[in-house]
Amino acid sequence: MRQLLLVFFGGGLGSVTRFVLGKWISTLHQHHFPWGTLAANVGACLAVGFFIGLADHKQIISPASRIFWVVGFGGGFSTFSTFSVETINLIQQGFTISSFSYVLASVALCVGATFAGLQLGEM
């Protein structure tokens, strides 16, 4: 039951963070490219990598904290479903180059951010 509550509250915090970040980035531009979701997913990957580095390599956060930050917060902050819908929307609206750019940038930046987070967490 405790683990479920950790995931619940961490996921809520991550979802609110994603929502606020997405809205803020959306106010900065009026372009069809989904910058807010890209930023949220990259930020979530950086955070997940960092907390895994702290938990698994440095062992300075507890298993409960790892569940809160990685499974809860990271899961709530990132959004693969929105990424998928936005990719399909870009294709349907005829933004083919933007859709492929979005997919490539998302994969490259998210993997890179996870690696960078792991490195930071291991320092």
Q: What is the pLDDT of residues 16-65, one digit of tens each?
A: 999 999 899 988 988 899 999 999 999 999 999 999 999 988 789 999 99
Q: How confident is the model at residue 81 (pLDDT cuts 50, 70, 90)?
A: very high
All structural domains of the chain with their residue ranges: 2-122
What is residue 1's three-state secondary structure?
coil
Q: Judging by beta carbons within 10 Å of its beta carbon (0-12, 13-18, 19+), is residue 27 exposed, middle or buried?
A: exposed
User: What local confidence, expressed as pLDDT, does residue 3 receive?
Assistant: 96
* Of residues 44, 106, 39, the one with CA closest to residue 71: 44
Q: 88 with 102: CB under 8 angstroms?
A: no
In single-letter form, the type of residue at position 59 comes to Q
Q: 36 with 66: CB under 8 angstroms?
A: no
Radius of gyration for the chain, computed over Cα atoms and rounded to the nearest angstrom: 16
